[in-house]
Amino acid sequence: MVALVVLVLALASKTVMLAPPAVLVWLGTISFSLYLSHTTVFLLLDRAAAGIRGDAHGWPHLIASVAIAVSVGALVHHYLEQRLSDRTAAGLRSLGTALRRLGGMPAAKPLA
């Protein structure tokens, strides 16, 4: 049955544009930051639950852990990953410009 669904979707994707759900695209965007931060979030929440003698294995704990991990992953992606990447790219561009002015680096040629 699963193979039939996969086959139909594969054939339909050639003729029909299937847009992925926006939430899945967003999760894909933050996935690396979520991957890096989820273990720390889960460990801290487990310790917090153990400290107040709470249930660290029930559904409420799992739902709270996932919600907090996704939130932390989104914050890390926005404030650390994106901003650090933007600042690094800007710094490298200004370094390249300064080196070209000094004559130490040829101008970049456009890709043809």
- pTM exceeds cut of 0.85: no
Mean pLDDT of 18-40: 91
Helix, strand or coil, per DSSP, at residue 105: coil
Percent of the chain past pLDDT 70, that is, above it, reads: 87
Residue 57 domain flag: yes
Q: Are 66 and 27 in contact (CB under 8 A)?
A: no
Specify burial of residue 68 (Cβ count, 10 A radius: 0-12, 13-18, 19+).
middle
pLDDT surpasses 90 at 33? yes
Residue 69 domain flag: yes
For residue 80, what are the domain limits?
A: 30-101
Residue 86 domain flag: yes
Total domains, the chain: 1
Residue 16: what pLDDT? Answer: 67
Mean pLDDT of 68-73: 96
Residue 52 domain flag: yes
Residue 90 domain flag: yes
